Homo-oligomer: A and B are copies of this chain.
Amino acid sequence: MLVVMKAQATPEEIQAVCRHIEALGFRAHPLPGAQRTAIGITGNQGEVDRGNLEEMSGVAEVIRVSKPYKLASRDVKEEDTVIRFPGTDATIGGRNLAIVAGPCAIENREQAFVIAEQVAASGAQFFRGGAYKPRTSPYAFQGLGVEALRIMAEIRERFGLRIVTEAIDNETLDLVAEWADVIQIGARNMQNFSLLKHAGRLRKPVLLKRGLSATLDEFLMAAEYIMSEGNYEVILCERGVRTFTDHSRNTLDLSIVPAVQRLSHLPILVDPSHGTGKRDKVLPMARAAIASGADGILVEVHHQPEKALSDGPQSIYPDQFARMMDEIGQIAPIVHRELPRGIHVEALAANPHDASARQ
A interface vs B, CB < 8 Å? 42-45, 68-69, 134-139, 141, 168-172, 188-189, 191-197, 212-213, 215-218, 221, 224-225, 228-229, 241-248, 251-259, 262, 275-276, 280-281, 284-285, 287-293, 327, 330-331, 334-335
Contact = CB atoms under 8 A, between A and B. Distances in A.
Contacts of A291: 284, 287-288, 290-291, 331
B292 A288 contact: yes
Nearest to A192: B192
B288 A139 contact: no
A251 B138 CA distance: 28
B138 A193 contact: yes
A154 to B, nearest CB: 26
A228 B136 CA distance: 13
Total copies of this chain within the assembly = 4
Contacts of A137: 68-69, 221, 224
Given A138-B193, A170-B171, 12 more contacts: A68-B139, A192-B192, A213-B242, A215-B245, A243-B243, A245-B253, A245-B256, A252-B253, A255-B281, A287-B334, A288-B289, A331-B331
Contacts of A246: 215-217
B247 A275 contact: no
A23 to B, nearest CB: 19
10 contacts: A138-B197, A169-B192, A171-B194, A188-B191, A215-B246, A216-B246, A241-B245, A243-B244, A258-B281, A288-B288
